[in-house]
Amino acid sequence: MLLGHSYYKNNDFLFVDIPGTYSIMSYSEEEEIARNYICFEKPDATVIVLDATCLERNLNLVFQIMEITDNIVVCVNLLDEAKKKKIKIDLDKLSKKLGVPVVGTIARKKKTLNNLLDTILEVCEGKIKPKPKTVTYPKEIEDAILLISDKLKDYKVIPPKLLRWISLKVLDGDEKILKSIEKAFNISLIDNVNLEIVKVKALNTIKNQENLKDTIVSSIVNKAENICKDVCTYENTNYSKRDRKIDKILTSKVFGIPIMLLFLGIIFWITIVGANYPSEILFSFFKWIQEKLILFANYINCPAWLSDMLINGVYQTLTWIISVMLPPMAIFFPLFTFLEDLGYLPRIAFNVDGLFKKCSCTGKQMITMCMGFGCNSAGVTGCRIINSPREKLIAILTNNFVPCNGRFPFLISIATIFIAGSMQGFGASIVSTLSVILVILLGIFCALLVSKILSKTILKGMPSSFVLELPPYRKPQLGKILIRSIFDRTLFVLGRAISVAAPAGFVIWLFASIGINGESLLSIIANFLDPFANLLGLDGYILTAFIFGIPANEIVLPIILMCYLGGNSLVNMEDTFSIGQILIQNGWTILTAINVMIFTCLHFPCATTLLTIKKETGSLKWTIISFLLPTICGIILCMFTTFVYNIFV
Amino acid sequence: MENTLNNLPLNHKGVIKSLNNTGTIRRRLLDLGLVKGTIIVPVLVSPSKGLRAFLVRGTLIALRDEDSSNIKVSF
């Protein structure tokens, strides 16, 4: 949950952002968190933010929350969007019908937000006493509620407000909710004989017991529908026409999937082209500082080994990662967030669900893979959107099959050197983008295949039911996108990478500097791995670099170059041409390039992702499996290409 | 005429008669307001088949054919 402070009229507000849900009756984790917070943490006021463009559906939530708290402020947001769609909402009437204060807001207009703060303040201070008009159920259910709540009154710990709601939950026997109530008040509700007797008696008065839940939900839904009819006027009944037109194109049988690939391609292309210059600037900036640092170290008579370790080891690895990672991420994440805010991501899931269903998975997995393009660790966390535990686990295990931002620059460099070859400028960037997309499609294909194999073996199961909401398209707010993508995503991921890069820089320096009989530990390891690496069409240094790249994939190429040049510090990537020369001199062929690209896409996850997987699955076993799956795929594929290459060449 | 939701032709209005889904999906559907008497219209078909999007209570939700075949509608 996110916390936020706000000072307004000499009052300090603490806002707790609880997960956005449409209901608090279902079983998802978010709904449970939201429900328990409102119910048991006793907030001074609960602000329910509704989308003015789909008020009816949001009102269900208001009625559910009314049953657990009185201090409600309803905030009808996106009034500007509603106006565009020619929906008029009578807020005063809505307030009267609900019995709680209603404030209309347009999030980007500060004045409307001050109205909201004023109302919240008045509710907190008790100047406004909301009297929620809760839903009345059919008489037989109301009678049953009364019977049970009479019995529950014996428990003095239960706040009077919650009696009715808890009675309702006892009646429909919702164990999960009842358990959290038991825990909060330290009482017994489920295995309570006295209560059970009353419950049986109460249930006997209800004719249609089997559909009790349906009746309860229907009462709420119908009430929301009626209120909406009363307070909303639609001047244009076809207000969603524009959205349907866009949807017809974006999800069309012929264009749906090509458009999706085109969007991703454009994002990658902009990232590739746009990241070059800032990367170079950062490189030369850090290099300049490095020279000054060396001068400074000499000036204070710092021992040579120490300055070498700190400057050429730790500092250089650190700044290398920042220069390579920051620009593409600072471009990719805002672009991706733009697609997200536009409402396009659920359409991707809609388009490809059939493919994933064939592998006993869900189309939502594709959304988590798209997040993985930014950062696999973020993608793994994103798997929480998948409800079925089995499908969620499959999505977590296969997320690393799509290359993240840390691996893109490497893929792009190799593609530029060996595939785009002598091409220049625009053409070269298109060819590199296309070959990177090809590698990505290969990764997605492998992910699907592995998902299918998992579903048939260790994670047996059928594709589960699922509901996918396709929200209305929205004009994204650029400021919001920048803040969210730069602070929440880019800097967050970068910070994590930096925290592992510094120690990694130290370790790499150590392995490159310490040696036996003049041979560094690094090359001893590389020579040991060489025979196996040759089977994969790689060499020992490349494989060693991948292993040392576990802390962060960005440093794989610099380690390879460092090994080839025989130094003990990372090499600055000043231009791709000279890198190409070094690689070719060390025996790289087109096969090496292809296999390195395959292996970059398909190998063990980085340390951060592994830690995230451990956290999300809570199991060492699945973490190890997530390590092995892509590695085995990469090894098999590389062996295959080497085998084919050796036959024909 | 009465049929299951997966057989409701594109852009045809249907009225929900009953829900035979079970478990979590049933709750989700009820939460989304798919109760008896609700009007529902299929408007989009997924290019990869097996999934359709329905307009219901002003929102657009996609369901797999396996799930929509458990919803009875009249049209």
**Best residue in A63, A466, A469, A474 to probe B by mutation, most B CBs within 10 Å?**
A466
Q: How far is CA A437 from CA A400, A405, A546, in A?
A: 16, 13, 21
Beta bridge partner(s), residue A8:
A11
Instruction: Answer yes or no: do A350 and B63 touch at CB < 8 A.
Output: no
Other C-beta atoms closer than 10 Å to the C-beta of A183 total 11
**Best residue in A465, A469, A474 to probe B by mutation, most B CBs within 10 Å?**
A465
Instruction: Give tens-digit pLDDT for B4-47.
Output: 999 999 999 999 998 888 877 888 888 888 988 899 999 999 99
Instruction: Give tens-digit pLDDT for A176-195.
Output: 888 888 888 888 888 888 88
Distance, in angstroms, between A227 CA and closest chain B CA?
13
Helices A556-565 and A576-585: crossing angle in degrees, nearest 10, is 60
Distance CA A263, CA A255 (A): 12
Contact of A93 with A104, CB cutoff 8 Å:
no
Averaged pLDDT for residues A152-162: 87
Q: What is the pLDDT of residue A573?
A: 57
Beta bridge partner(s), residue B39:
B15
- Per-window interface: A 334-373 vs B, CB < 8 A: 346, 350-355, 357, 363
3-state SS, residue A101:
coil
Is A136 part of the contact surface with chain B (CB cutoff 8 Å)?
A: no
Helices A492-513 and A521-535: crossing angle in degrees, nearest 10, is 110
Amino acid at A288: W
For the cut 90, the answer to whether the pLDDT of residue A569 exceeds it is no
Is A246 part of the contact surface with chain B (CB cutoff 8 Å)?
A: no
For the cut 70, the answer to whether the pLDDT of residue A570 exceeds it is no
Instruction: Give tens-digit pLDDT for A271-306.
Output: 878 887 888 888 889 989 988 998 998 899 888 888
ipTM: 0.94
Q: What is the pLDDT of residue B21?
A: 87
Which class would CATH give A2-124? alpha beta
Distance CA A301, CA A295 (A): 10
Other C-beta atoms closer than 10 Å to the C-beta of A184 total 15
Q: What is the pLDDT of residue B45?
A: 93
Averaged pLDDT for residues A424-429: 72
Is B28 part of the contact surface with chain A (CB cutoff 8 Å)?
A: yes
**Best residue in B18, B27, B59 to probe A by mutation, most A CBs within 10 Å?**
B59
Domain range annotation of chain A: 2-124, 139-207, 256-648
Q: How far is CA B72 from CA A57, A77, A138, B37, B59, in A?
A: 21, 35, 24, 11, 20
CB burial readout A109-144, b (16+ within 10 A) else e: eeebbeebbebbbebbeeebebebebbebeebbeeb
Closest CA to A40 of A134, A166, A129, A128: A166
Q: What is the pLDDT of residue B61?
A: 92
Instruction: Answer yes or no: do A251 and B51 touch at CB < 8 A.
Output: no
Instruction: Answer yes or no: do A218 and B36 touch at CB < 8 A.
Output: yes
Q: Which of B24, B28, B48 sits opposite A353 (nearest CB)?
A: B48
For the cut 80, the answer to whether the pLDDT of residue A536 exceeds it is yes
Q: Which of B49, B50, B61 sits opposite A470 (nearest CB)?
A: B61
Query: How many H-runs (helices) and E-runs (strands) does chain A carry?
Result: 29, 10
Distance, in angstroms, between A370 CA and closest chain B CA?
18
Q: What is the pLDDT of residue A485?
A: 83
pLDDT band at A396 (very low <50, low <70, confident <90, very high): very high
Query: B2-74 architecture in CATH?
Result: Roll (2.30)
Q: Which single residue is written with the structure tokens 């292993």?
A: A547
Instruction: Answer yes or no: do A247 and B43 touch at CB < 8 A.
Output: yes
Contact of A493 with A377, CB cutoff 8 Å:
yes
